[in-house]
Structure 1
Amino acid sequence: MCPDRTGVQVASNLRQVCSRIAVGFVVSATAHCRKGLPRMSGHSKWATTKHKKAVIDAKRGKMFAKLIKNIEVAARTGGGDPSGNPTLYDAIQKAKKSSVPNDNIERARKRGGGEEAGGADWQTIMYEGYGPNGVAVLIECLTDNRNRAAGEVRTAMTRNGGNMADPGSVSYLFTRKGVVVLEKNGRTEDDLLEIVLEAGAEEINDLGESFEIVCEAGDLIPVRTALVDAGVDYESADPDFRASVEVPVDAEGARKVFKLVDALEDSDDVQNVYTNVDVSDEVLAELDA
């Protein structure tokens, strides 16, 4: 704690689980793709490379589609001018950093802002459930077909060791927050505190090469605006769900949870998946071995 900065907790090791989970998902996804590769006749290196590229392209296509939906919804909610709509601005920047083509970004902005026809009636739906080892799972969908989304989420859960739950069954274990991630670029925690303290920052976490600023969900725009006004670039500024109680798992449990998350995120209707899994450094090392 920093006693001279009321209400703000600065800890280099807090919320390390978030970075662990992010790393773990990458480990799991890579391992899953590798195991899923078919046996190629004659061990054709070209065929194997072609298949891997197809898998990567498919995942990139799904990611692009989800980023495009975020732009369209942000424009519809707050207007199609990024200069007057911080949420839209952030959605566009995130898409650009993920190499989404500019034409796709502009068309989504116009559809959402009413400048171009063809926009879908996107609805946000939250589903709740339990994964392997009793891990709580929140699934955030952005869909134009509630029945399709519900069916795909249920199928992914039941096929990967999960169970659907009634509304409110696990959501009480999570708190809605705002999270801004930015590269250090020589800055210290104190440097950032001077910028975001008055805007509502609650804590700053050291993630190694970057910092994570956590605030109330309602303070997300003021915090990112304070950074912009100070000339500080950031990687992302997104709402998030943070678990108040976490469930530690061993390597086998982690693999099962990651597999479930991969299956859920494979649905075009699923935008985000949140869990309260806690994967230790030791377990991550075992998974990476």
Structure 2
Amino acid sequence: MTADVVPRLAAAVRAAAHPDAAPCPCGADATSTLAHRPDTTVLRHAETVAKAHAPGTDPTALTVRLAIAARLPEVFLPPLAPAPAAFVGSRPVTLWPYGAPVDPDAPDAAPWEAAAILLALLHREPPAPATPPMRGPAKAAQAMDRLRAALAGADAHPAAPPVLRAWSGLPPWARAEAPMPGTRTIVHGDLHLGQLVRHPAPDGPWRLIDIDDLGVGAPGWDLARPASWYACGLLPPDEWTRFLTAYRAAGGPAVPEGGDPWPALDVPARALTVQTAARYLAKAIAADRALDEVERCLIDACARMAPE
């Protein structure tokens, strides 16, 4: 299945970009790969983007998530169709307009305020009864499963014990073993700067993308990755302050209007720290390479969270 995803998805995106043109006026070279991983393949042709979602994706839940994105165009890049437009094997395909991503080579221009405002708007939306659960904790559990699988086929790794201890120290809800507590809202579920694009490209307003983990959950989860990186020393304090201040100013409900935000963010931030550390460590083990500086910072944070 993996081998034929790209050509079959390329045919689908070309047909969507030029539904009345045969053959395609742009030529095959106009199709580019934006992402290609075992769980996601994203191709662009002209101004149309097609995404093949992960194997096993529930089409019904995905359709609900598409409907949320469609009714919140001030928050999300709106889909081009209200339901999966095709299937590549068992993988549903969704269609989107192209948006210009964050420039990784311009960190000073990172849209932290825009991300915070979009999250606040999203978190203030009442969830519909059919909205599926946010998948953040489930993704954290998947990262731990991948780490355990990597460890099963390798010699003992000195960085693994602090990650495993930190995971065990999280409450069950953060490990996807119990319902999420407290106030629950619509949550993106996997917020990072790679989930923002400008539409129309190249300088339209910022919008969120990637609805795979969207659902009802604890809104603090969406603030957890920047909170984690700030706590680990990987995000400068001024950028964290910009993000948090903008979120509060926009009425975001995940943290109090003033005072210490950490009681609300501590568990999600720790969970994202462990998830990211587990993912990086599994990749390092698979590649049989040493950890880099960022990866060591995350492992050290896990050790501080759960000392021996």
TM-score (normalised: structure 1): 0.27
Task: Considering fraction of residues, name the structure with more strand.
Answer: 1
Task: Considering fraction of residues, name the structure with more helix.
Answer: 1
TM-score (normalised: structure 2): 0.26
